[in-house]
A and B are shown apart, each in its own frame.
Chain A
Amino acid sequence: MLVPLAIRCFRDPQTFAANATATCWTDLLQQARSLGLTAQLHALFARHQLLQSLPETVQKHFAWGWRYYQKQRGSLFYELMQLEPFLGQADYPCLLLKGAAYQALGLTVSEGRLYSDIDLLVRRPQLTDCKDKLFFAGFFEPAISAYDKHFYLELSHENPPLYHVKRGTALDLHFALFPLAGRKKLNTELVFASASKIAGSCLQVPNLSYLYIHAAIHFFWQEEQHKLVKDLIDLDLLYGQLAEQNLLLQLLNDAQQFGALEPTVNTLLLVQSLFKRALPAEVTAKLVNSPYRRDVARALVLWQLGSGVRARLAGSLWYLRGYHHKMHWRALLRHVWVKGKLAWQQRHQPG
């Protein structure tokens, strides 16, 4: 199996740097730019104190990426500061998710990681009130069709995206971690129970377990193919911090209670095989004997990391499988029917 350069690099940066040819570096810089990983590579080599020993051109590109990341990180903190006075009035928990949460906690995975939007989680009954507060902070919801609105609120796991009227910042307001149409029976209340306050802020963050579980769900139960490498690197870095803090058994326990053991087990197995991580014996034993192992699904991931016909075929199957997870077949059929009908009506309406 041909492992992508970026994964080989994160697996063992020292060996990679020692053996990489000029062509290899050119290809890595290219991959990193496409995946938005340049600044993360800068952080990786800096953590391993290898930055100064890298070829000059590589250092130059990493510095480009780092400069861009610093600007993004500044913008993210600025946006969070702008939210404080409005969400500070809320008498319910508002949790940061994904990139914003990694950054707020200062996790290793946040070093050099770019973000495209801010993800916020509130309980479903508080969604409208939170939206009202965000409205006064300058966020608005662009007009969408009645069906799309229904889709977001009843079948998805978030409100339609909100945008800041002046700065254009995108904000996703979640009320669950996974689309409701997937009928996964996930206990979102446990995420709130795990959360802790960010010092000096009204915002909260889920604990490390739930941050991993969330990343695992969005990796293993979805259809997207273009971010697989980036998501795997996120998972590996989150895994690293869980392992450091001896929280892997806690992770499996949390995943079971939450209802997402399948993505957690399989992403851990992928991290183990792709990044050559030595999992603790008791964790390995649990993974080996787990009824939630999905060998075919993991094979599809590995095949997609390659190229050619097999990768394309695996990608197509992954796409179908992702939708199967995100939408129960009855919801999917109804969705396809309604969207098709609306598109037909739009094309054939008079005038």
Chain B
Amino acid sequence: MAFFSLHTPPFSVRIDTDSPTLFNDLSVLYPPEILLQSPCIKHIYDFHIDYKRRFAGKSRPYHFRTGSEHFRMADANQLIPTFEWGLNWCVSAYQQQYLAIHAAVLEKNGRALIMPAPPGSGKSTLCALLMLRGWRLLSDEMCLIDPASGQLQPYVRPVSLKNASIDVIEQYHPEIKVFHRTPDTEKGTVAYLRPSDSSWQGANVCAKPAWIVFPAYQAAAESVAVFTMPKADTLLYLAQNSFNYAVFAAQGFSLLSQLVENTESYRLEYSDTEQMLECVEQILC
């Protein structure tokens, strides 16, 4: 396997690797119309990724690079997590088309829910569970705001689950398969969930932002508690968690102001996942 390509709207990637397993490992996460065995000759790719061993030898690590920029090295058993993180790095570091915020985004009935939150807050767990309850996944990692329309652009990719959240998903949905469970990464054990069919089908369909929810898992807290967030606090938090707010300058401020003005913001503290899900759907839908 030398070249293959990944066409996850709105970005396409050409991958050059000497791993004999990477393509097959990715093919359980991405459908065949997204992951192509060879790049299209007539397509101009947004990113070229070089994911190879620099020296011969089975114990040698793979180097994830784009151009002359090195992202990270990965042992053969950690190829998938490093690939997924590397792809996020490419987009967050270089794209300037959309105002990008570190957040999960889902949609139901044409209205989108944005969930910005730090690691450990239960964002990915909540995102995966809502997707499995019929919400359309736009992204579990990156909220892309189109500056022209203010709408949210999907960037559908596998949902990354970490540590305890893997067990939570398996407990609530034993019928759902979790792929590539990888222990001992720098983020602990990670595993991946395939986006739902409706998420892939809507990969080119933008959504109108309606709610911003800051989830916070707190084992010792009430089963679920909802607070309205002050709009100024929401704006500041979004700006701090944006990958390119500074690059968008005044337009970035204006976009975030509009977003916060036109949406409802909540902080959601919970210790009981089931009750929290019901609460979310009750409040939002």
Contact = CB atoms under 8 A, between A and B. Distances in A.
Interface of A: 21-23, 25-27, 29-31, 33-35, 55, 57-58, 60-61, 63-65, 67-68, 71, 74, 226
8 contacts: A25-B44, A26-B45, A34-B66, A57-B46, A64-B97, A67-B248, A68-B247, A226-B68
A30 B42 contact: no
Interface in B66-88: 66-69
Q: Majority SS of interface residues in chain B? A: loop
A168 to B, nearest CB: 12
B44 A71 contact: no
A318 B45 CA distance: 34
B41 A71 contact: no
Contacts of B97: 60, 63-64
A26 B40 CA distance: 11
B247 A27 contact: no
B94 interface: yes
A22 B246 CA distance: 32
Contacts of B96: 63-65, 67-68
A34 B42 contact: no
Contacts, number: 55
Given A60-B97, A68-B96, A55 B44 contact: yes
Contacts of A26: 14, 44-45, 48
Contacts of B40: 22
A34 B67 contact: yes
B95 interface: yes
Given A64-B94, A64-B97, A22 B67 contact: no
Interface residues of B, number: 22
Contacts of A67: 96, 247-248
B249 interface: yes
A74 B44 contact: no
B175 to A, nearest CB: 40
Nearest to A61: B46
Contacts of B187: none
A22 B42 contact: yes
Nearest to B45: A26
Which 5 residue pairs across A and B have the least CB separation, nearest first? A34-B67, A64-B96, A57-B44, A34-B68, A67-B96
A300 B48 CA distance: 28
A29 B45 CA distance: 9
Interface in B27-69: 40-48, 66-69
Given A33-B66, A60-B97, A64-B94, A71 B48 contact: no
Interface in B211-259: 246-249
A22 B247 contact: no
A29 B66 contact: no
B115 to A, nearest CB: 26
Contact of A74 (B45, B48, B69, B249): B249
A65 B40 CA distance: 25
A23 B40 CA distance: 9
